[in-house]
């Protein structure tokens, strides 16, 4: 059985830090796996776990992931580099 994020229901709760969700990327309209970094009243800060870029999204751009999609371990397509002024512990 395939899981389609375009037909999946919206997230029925306010996500919490470190929760894995699907987030619609505005540049191409597709959904990608994302980890919640911070939650505010109207936006959620996420990092796309398979690519490394960050985004601030409204709750209507978030959808739940199935347990099987949460367990998928893909090689990061981004290259982790270290800059002295960024605190990486909040991301990973």
The answer to the question of residue 74 being in a domain is: no
The total number of structural domains in the chain stands at 1
The answer to the question of residue 30 being in a domain is: yes
The answer to the question of residue 17 being in a domain is: yes
CATH for 54 = 2.30.30.140
The answer to the question of residue 73 being in a domain is: no
Q: Model's pTM, two decimal places?
A: 0.73
The answer to the question of residue 37 being in a domain is: yes
The answer to the question of residue 31 being in a domain is: yes
List, for residues 27-74, the tens digit of each pLDDT value.
Answer: 998 999 999 999 998 899 999 988 889 999 999 999 998 887 777 765
Beta-carbon neighbour count of residue 91 at 10 Å? 13
What kind and span of H or E run contains 68?
helix 67-71
What is the pLDDT at residue 27?
92
Domain range for residue 9?
Answer: 1-67
The answer to the question of residue 76 being in a domain is: no
Q: Report the distance separating Cα 58 and Cα 18, nearest Å.
A: 17
The answer to the question of residue 81 being in a domain is: no
């Amino acid at each position: 059985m395939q899981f389609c994020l375009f037909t999946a229901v919206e997230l029925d709760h306010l996500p919490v830090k470190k929760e894995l969700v699907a987030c619609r990327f505005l540049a191409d309209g597709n959904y990608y796996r994302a980890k919640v970094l911070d939650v505010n009243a109207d936006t959620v800060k996420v990092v796309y776990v398979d690519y490394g870029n960050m985004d601030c999204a409204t709750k209507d751009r978030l959808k739940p992931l199935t347990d099987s999609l949460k367990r998928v371990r893909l090689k990061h397509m981004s290259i982790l580099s270290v800059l002295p002024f960024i605190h990486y512990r909040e991301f990973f």
